Each structure stands twice: as C-alpha cells, then as structure tokens.
A and B are shown apart, each in its own frame.
Chain A
Amino acid sequence: MTIKEKQEEIIEEFALFDEWMEKYQYIIDLGKDLPIIDEKYKVEENLIKGCQSKVWLHAELVDGKIIFTADSDAIITKGIVGLVISVFSGHTPKEIIDADLFFIDKIGLQEHLSPTRSNGLLAMLKQIKMYAIAFSTKANA
C-alpha cells in the first residue's frame, strides 16, 4: 500500500465513529496495544521533548526502506504516534519526502498538531521528514 492509500484506509476506519468518545477510545486502545519501540531505543538522543508529553522516535534503513518505531509516555499521543508510524514506516526515503500528510486533519485530530499542544507530535513529524532526507542523502552519497 502507498502512503496515500494507508491514510485513506485510516480515514475510512474513523468514519465509522459517531462521536469523539469512540474515536478517543479507539486511539487510547491503540496506544495501549502497541509496544511500538524497543526499550533500548528509548534513549535521550531519540527523545522529542514536548512541554506536555514525551515522544521517542527511532529510524533505521532496511533494504532501502525506513522502519520507524516510536513511543510516548502519554497514551493518546502514543495512539496518534502509532497511526503516523504505521503510515510512514516501510517506505523509501523518497516516498516519505514526497508524501503529503492529510489523515490527521481528516479524522479531526488536527488540534493535536497545534504548536500550543506542545506534545511532541509536530516535532516528531518534522523529525520523520528529516530522517528521510538524511537517509536519502546517505544513499546518494
């Protein structure tokens, strides 16, 4: 599946929820279910510190594709982080650089990306693109 298709799938899934409670419960459960990072990667250099919550992001290049793993100490943030990771992980640096992230807006979670939330999510999205640029520069070098 392409990054675009993955996002469309998430949007479809969220369309089933009638109210915010169900949506948040789903994200919370997603956050609870996902052990999305290896403990050894939960280190200072992978930490994106928000004012409210922390996000850890790890990236590695496997067979030309970037595998992202991440975590957060807050469960709602972790659930959203999980969704973002599932969208980008397993794609080439070029695909990630060119990708447009639209699903968060469409499922009504844009408030979590506002700088005032300072939960580390916005910084994490920037970091994902940075990793993609770094890996693609390395590959071309």
Chain B
Amino acid sequence: MLYTTTLILKLKRDLLKTTQILDIESIRKDFPILKREVNGKPLVYFDNGATSQKPQVVIDAVSHYYEYENSNIHRGIHTLSQEATNAYEVAREKIKSFVKAKHSHEIIFTKGTTDSINLVASSFGKKYLKKGDEIIISTMEHHSNIVPWQLICEEKGAILKVIPINDKGELLLDEFKKLLSNKTKLVAITHVSNTLGTINPIKEIIAKAHALNIPVLIDGAQAVPHTKVDVQDLDCDFYAFSGHKMLGPTGVGILYGKEAILNDLPPYQGGGDMIKTVTFEKTTYNELPHKFEAGTPNIVGGIGLGIAVDYMNSIGIDKIEKYEHELLAYATEQIKQIEGVRIIGEATNKASVLSFVVNGTHPSDIGMIIDKLGVAIRTGHHCTEPLMNRLNVPGTARASFAFYNTFKEIDIFIAALQRAITMLK
C-alpha cells in the first residue's frame, strides 16, 4: 500500500514535470545562490518563510544604484538626486499596482512588517486607544503582531483579546464574533501563519469587523510572496509586509493604509522628509506618504523591491501560487509516510509551509543533522511562542517552499530527514 502510494506520487510528480506550471530550470538560473554548496552538498533552501533568495536582477539593481545613481532623494536640486527620487517613486508605484492599492501615497515605505505594525500600534494607539478599550489579535500571531499591541495596551490601559484556534490550526470564527464589541478598537490578524501555513479567511474577518466600524490590520508578511493580494477587494484598513520575503532586499517593507485613516493618524517618528514647515513653536507635517517616512529611507531597498515586484510579475503570482501548492501537497504526502512524523498545522487552506515534529526527537537535532546534508530548514518556536504553548510543542521543524524549489529537492529533504531520524532514534 505504502509502495503503491509512493509510486503514484512519483508518477504524479513526473507528470507534473512534463506539464510544468513554471520553467523551473530557467527560473533557478536567475538565483545565483542556488548554485552553491553547503557542507559539501548542493544547497536545498527550504527556509523561505524566514527570507527568500534574491534573483540576479535585484542584486544588479542594488549594485547599479550604488555605482550610478546614489544620492539623497526628494529634496535634491541636482540630476542624480532627481534620478534617485524617480527610481524610488517608480518603485512605490509598482508596489501600489502589485497589491492593487487605490493611490501610491497609501504605500508607506518602512523597515519591514515589524516596523509597519509598530507604526500603526503607536500612531493609532496614541490617537484612539483609552483605558478599557480592546484590541483583538489571534493565537497564531507572530511576536511582531503581539508585542507592539501589548506595549501600547500597557501604556493606555487597554486590553488584548485573543481569537482561539482549533487543533488543525484554524481560527475559531464564532469565538471571534463573540469577542467583537463596542470596546473593540482594532483587529490585527495574520493573513498566513508563518508557523502553520494556515491561510486565514481575512475577507470574512474584515467584513465582520467593519459591520461594527472596527478597522482591521492584516499582517501579510507570509502572504504577499505566495498569493495574490488585492487590498481594495479585501477592504482592509492596513496591510503590512516585508520586502526581503518577496525577493527584495532586507530592511525594506511596506505599510499600506487607506488614505482617510492614514491622514487621520499622527506621525510615527519626527525628522527630515516628514515635515512641511518647522519653527520652534510649531511644525506642520508633510502630506502622505512622506508624513510617515521620517529621515533618509532605505532608498536602494525600495528600488530593489520594485525590481523584485517586476520579477514576480514576469513569473505570475497565480502560477507561483499554483506551483507552490503542488510542492506542498507532494511534500506533505511524502512526509506522512515517515513513521513518527506529526504535521503541525493541518488547515484546509494552507500556504507552502510544512511544520512538523518527530516523536522522540527535538526539532533542533533534526535541523542540525539535515543542515549537514545541505538542507536548510528552520527549527524552534518561529517567534510564535503563545502558539507553541497552545499546541503543546516546544517548537517545530519547518520547511517553507518558494517557487524556485523543486520536487527533486523535496526528495532530498525527505531522504535527509529519514537519515536524521535513524541517527537520533
């Protein structure tokens, strides 16, 4: 039986190869790091949830900027400054189109998802939160979507409410509805769980919150690289994501916010670029998006992210999603055949994240051994300690796939995992 299943899966895989959704061989050539070896073995990079690899075009854009365009943006009178400003603003425009925002000034450049959420927690909290108010998050949030809210709640005497999950790792929507009240000031939920891969029904969540005029922030760090995001269709008030998880450079991310609500919020940080006029008596703030972009930004990061978006568009997000889904299905079937493996996170609707534990072994031991075999996965609590406590595991081993990964790499990973288990048992 086991053999037959394997055989069918292998056949399915071969079939997929012939009717390939993506030209993987050619795509892999675009990512120079995929050619390298680790510990004498070809690198199998399954830590895409932590950060993605970068295509040559992004790497080139970064060095080209420093070689030909480098200068400070927005206030320069000279040609270089204008060229750099243009490149930066073109990138903003590309990102706006990528997530289907209405205006490019609704796209705020930040340091990353964490920074974006901190911005909202601070500015929104300052303006709207008071003692006894409530913020709703969920059990599966990354620490980045827990701690900023805890900080502002502590400051304001507000209360954090948490949506529970079932054992499969899905949000309990009925419980969510019960948590909503006239005390709720904001709902902050992840689109895709970084630990479990669960894709949350955020459109429904947003609609339920909006019915009571409660704004919603979505943590999209794990969603934007893998699935189509349309912020207008979702109708979310804020949507936060990172550049480095979607082929872009590190240190740059985005906060999307609806124009009206962004105009309403006080600035997050003070400094250059965010002002209109400054006197010692009174400062007037610049317009969106600059109001939230104090200081010289990560110019090259923004430009690189724009190129990353171009690259993703050239592949097609629909194809990426479909192919990654095939990878996840194949890996899930394969891993299920290994005795003692328990998958953590079995939501019906899942992105390309495969978290698991192996009975009688510690995730870090698995991670260390398969690293020796060239396979990079992540182990630990994945910055979701409350979730680990809820699921009663000390941590998990997590393989997370990207569209440049292959079925063959999954075979290598499975073989490495089997070898690790043999050593550890």
Contact = CB atoms under 8 A, between A and B. Distances in A.
Interface of A: 20-21, 24-25, 28, 51-53, 73-77, 119
Nearest to A53: B364
Quick one: which of B362, B380, B381, B394 has the most chain A CB within 10 A? Answer: B362
5 contacts: A21-B423, A24-B423, A52-B395, A75-B362, A76-B365
How many B residues touch the partner, as a band?
A: 10 to 19
Nearest to A76: B365
B365 A75 contact: yes
B372 A20 contact: yes
A28 B380 contact: no
A93 B365 CA distance: 32
Given A73-B362, A76-B368, A25 B423 contact: yes
B423 A52 contact: no
B424 A52 contact: no
B413 to A, nearest CB: 18
Q: In this complex, which of A25, A76, A77 has the most chain B Cβ atoms within 10 angstroms of its Cβ?
A: A76
B361 interface: yes
Contacts of A75: 361-362, 365, 424
Interface of B: 39, 361-365, 367-369, 372, 379-381, 394-395, 423-424
B394 A73 contact: yes
A24 B369 contact: yes
The 5 lowest CB-CB distance pairs between A and B, nearest first, are A74-B362, A52-B364, A74-B364, A53-B364, A76-B365
Contacts of B369: 24, 76
A25 to B, nearest CB: 6
Contacts of A77: 364
B367 to A, nearest CB: 8
Contact of A28 (B379, B381, B394, B423): B423
A52 B372 contact: no
Nearest to A73: B362
Given A25-B423, A52-B380, A76 B372 contact: no
B250 to A, nearest CB: 16
- Give the residue among B365, B372, B394 with the most A Cβ atoms within 10 A: B365
A53 B362 CA distance: 8
A24 B379 contact: no
Contacts of A51: 380-381
A118 B368 CA distance: 13
Given A25-B423, A28-B423, A52 B361 contact: no
Contacts of A74: 362, 364-365
Nearest to A118: B380
A74 B420 CA distance: 13
A63 to B, nearest CB: 36
A79 to B, nearest CB: 10
Contacts of A73: 362, 394
A73 B367 CA distance: 14
Nearest to A29: B423
Contact of B379 (A20, A21, A25, A52): A52
B417 to A, nearest CB: 15
Nearest to B372: A20
Contact of B364 (A20, A21, A28, A119): A119
Given A24-B423, A28-B423, A52-B367, 4 more contacts: A74-B364, A75-B362, A75-B365, A76-B369
A51 B379 CA distance: 10
A28 B361 CA distance: 11
A62 B97 CA distance: 71
Nearest to B360: A75
Contacts of B364: 52-53, 74, 76-77, 119
A20 B420 CA distance: 13
A78 to B, nearest CB: 9
A77 to B, nearest CB: 7
A28 B372 CA distance: 15
Nearest to A74: B362
A74 B380 CA distance: 11
A52 B361 CA distance: 13
B140 to A, nearest CB: 19
